[in-house]
Amino acid sequence: MPTFAEFMNKKKPRKPPKFYFASLFSGAGVGDYGLVLAGGKCLAACEIDPQRAAVHKANIGAPVWGNLRTEKNAIVAHLMAFPLDLLIATPPCQSFSTANSRRGLREDPEHAGRDERNNLFFEALEVARQLKPKIVFFENVPNFLKRRIQSLDGAVTGRVEEFLAASLSDYRMHTDVICFSKLNVPQRRRRSIAIFVRNDVELLKDSSLMEPINWPAPFRNGPDTIMEAIGHLPPLDGASADKAFDQSDPLHQVPLYEQKHYRWISDIPPNSGKSSWENACPECGDESTPIFSVICHICRAQMHNRPHVKEETGDIRPIKGFKTSYTRMAAQQIAPTMTTASGHFSSDIKLHPTQNRVLSPRECAILQSIPSSFNWPKEQHFRKAYLIREMIGEAVPSLVTFRLGQAIASSL
């Protein structure tokens, strides 16, 4: 059976398609790429951002529409001419994610209505109702299905999963919140999924389509730790330009740091999983000074190796932040969730387990199970590939959609 590394080297098949799909809110096409690898053919996609649409076209080759609200009818008219097995939708639901840390907002439909992007899943439902594909698949943040929201006309209030079920009443439904690590993706990434199969579609007797945990696996086990997944790549260091860039791979690069910031990072012991807030006193070596303090409580020295701001008087004060900021990832665990902020060392658990830097875009891509055959056009590499980092962090892992595609191909 192939390994995770072999999956990461997988290329697009040249055989006839096994199924046909359309993709809404496609992003750069990372999730769609997994479906293509599984034998799917994309008939149409919708992505409003031109940069992301360009990456999608470079990899998938399907026609891409822009604004779903204004181009919905054109998309439907185009797809009416084709047999459609799958409609996949990953709508941007900004406050749904916010509610993860502010759970009271999950019950507040008015808050959700303040950002019109949170209503875009209604547009996807309208496309699904008109096209009636065999399968509809939604993926989003953990709170997505349970979020209370108002209908577009404001007449009805309910949870997202209730609107989905009511709109797709002629489909059988499976909803869940699953960590994609259970599907062999080497990171902790909890997501809501909703699978709908049209009632008149007969699945093969041994079909695993409705249960993601049983979707066909391309290999026996994924990496057990982050270092198993990315440890083969050349080392990098944020101290100097010649050490921060791999000449053989433009995506294997990291930002350079000011001397002050580099010290905060480099003083965190490798393999410790600790934060800069826990750095030992550089004068006396004591490790017991509480976090968020920058004055050693033993020798009273200023701890310049902890996150701080220097006052005009020469004194320093701690930067406000969370305990998990300026923190190394744990080397003996799978990675934390890859986010759009992967290049910011001050963000939540973003530092490499052993090296003095954040992860490179290539490492983030591996942890998102994006095969090396995925093409990131050169024009996307500007600004140290920060836009690529965003596209990677917001994507559905390719391995997840590959396994979904395998389940579809073996079920229909």
**pLDDT, tens digit, for every residue of 211-243?**
999 999 988 888 999 999 999 999 999 999 999
What local confidence, expressed as pLDDT, does residue 96 receive? 64
Q: Each residue of 26-51: b (16+ CB within 10 Å) or e?
A: bbbbbbbbbbbbbbbbbbbbbbbbeb
Domain boundaries, the chain: 4-221+396-411
- pTM higher than 0.75: yes
Question: What is the spatial distance between Cα 56 and Cα 68, in angstroms, rounded to a whole number?
Answer: 16
Q: Name the residue among 193, 222, 224 with its Cα closest to residue 407.
A: 193
293: three-class secondary structure by DSSP: coil
* Strand partners of residue 157: 150
242: three-class secondary structure by DSSP: coil
Question: What is the spatial distance between Cα 59 and Cα 395, in angstroms, rounded to a whole number?
Answer: 14
What local confidence, expressed as pLDDT, does residue 323 receive? 83
What local confidence, expressed as pLDDT, does residue 380 receive? 73
Pairing of strands 316-318, 157-159: unpaired
Residue ranges in the chain whose pLDDT is less than 70 = 1, 93-118, 154, 381-383
Element (H, E) at 126: helix 120-131
400: three-class secondary structure by DSSP: helix
Q: Residue 43 corresponds to which tokens in the numbers above?
A: 């008939």
What local confidence, expressed as pLDDT, does residue 101 receive? 45
Give the CATH number of domain 4-221+396-411.
3.40.50.150
Question: What is the spatial distance between Cα 332 and Cα 305, in angstroms, rounded to a whole number?
Answer: 25
Question: Exposed, middle or buried, 348 (CB in 10 Å: 0-12/13-18/19+)?
Answer: middle
Q: Name the residue among 100, 95, 127 with its Cα closest to residue 113.
A: 95
